[in-house]
Amino acid sequence: MITIIDYQMGNLRSVQKAIEKVGHSAVISSDPKEIAQADHLILPGVGAFEDAITELRRRDMVGVIKDHIDAGKPFLGICLGLQLLFDVGYEGGEFEGLGIVPGKVVRFEVPPELKVPHMGWNQVTFRHKPPIFEGIEPQTHFYFVHSYYVVPNDEAVIAVEATYDKPFCAAIWRDNLVATQFHPEKSQASGLHVLKNFAEWTPAA
């Protein structure tokens, strides 16, 4: 069962419809007990870091997310769902994240001719190709919309990069955990391919 976490911070139905389009089913749930039963778990997200982490804690979802990842089951974070995995975010202050991946979330500092948020299609390159990117060629375009990006303490978890003035982390991969800064559900055929790979992914023990 693929479960999409509902904490009132994401375009949940778009992710669900994209999963359905590639031949799989997904449920949207805000029930920690139901989330704990998921085989594959997706944490999407659109909005502010502080609001999101507050909602996850208020809804008692932090423990089930960590338990799912610790159990070796496939996990996908999308956009804000990537950022929340880190130790600390600096959007509107300094806020503690889930602390699953050591590192921080910082705002783009770019020349005046580049706008923030970074919004639109951007090419990606691979440092390491996660299993959910099998069949995706380097320089494939994905859809981004974000003002902040992640900076892992250990660069080995950076799997995919894109460039906005300078290279930034576009996706991480560690064992059964993968998370993207871009929105696969908004990235047409390439994004659907990534979601299909995730739905069919069985991480190595």
Q: What value does the mean pLDDT take over residues 41-66? A: 95
> Which helix (DSSP H) or strand (DSSP E) does residue 51 occupy?
helix 49-58
Residues of the domain holding 62: 2-199
Q: Answer whether residue 205 shows pLDDT above 80.
A: no
| Cβ–Cβ under 8 Å, residues 16 and 195 | no
The least confident of 47-51, 78-82, 162-166 is 47-51
Residue 110 within a domain = yes
Flag whether 204 is in a domain.
no
Does the annotation mark 169 as catalytic?
A: no
Q: For residue 76, is it within any domain?
A: yes
Answer yes or no: 50 catalytic. no
Query: Is 185 annotated as catalytic?
Result: yes
Residue of 40, 118, 146, 183 marked catalytic: 183
| Residues 131-190: tens digit of each pLDDT | 999 999 999 999 999 999 999 999 999 999 999 999 999 999 999 999 999 999 999 999
- pLDDT above 90 for 45: no
Domain assignment of residue 205, yes or no = no
- Do you know the residue count of the chain? 205
Residue 109 in this model has a pLDDT that exceeds 90: yes
Domain assignment present for residue 18? The answer is yes
Interatomic CA distance for residues 196 and 202, integer angstroms: 12
Whole-angstrom Cα distance, residue 92 to residue 43?
A: 22
Active-site residue identified among 79, 91, 118, 169? 79
Q: Is residue 97 part of a domain?
A: yes
Per the structure, the count of domains in the chain is: 1
CATH number reported for the structural domain that contains residue 90 in this entry: 3.40.50.880
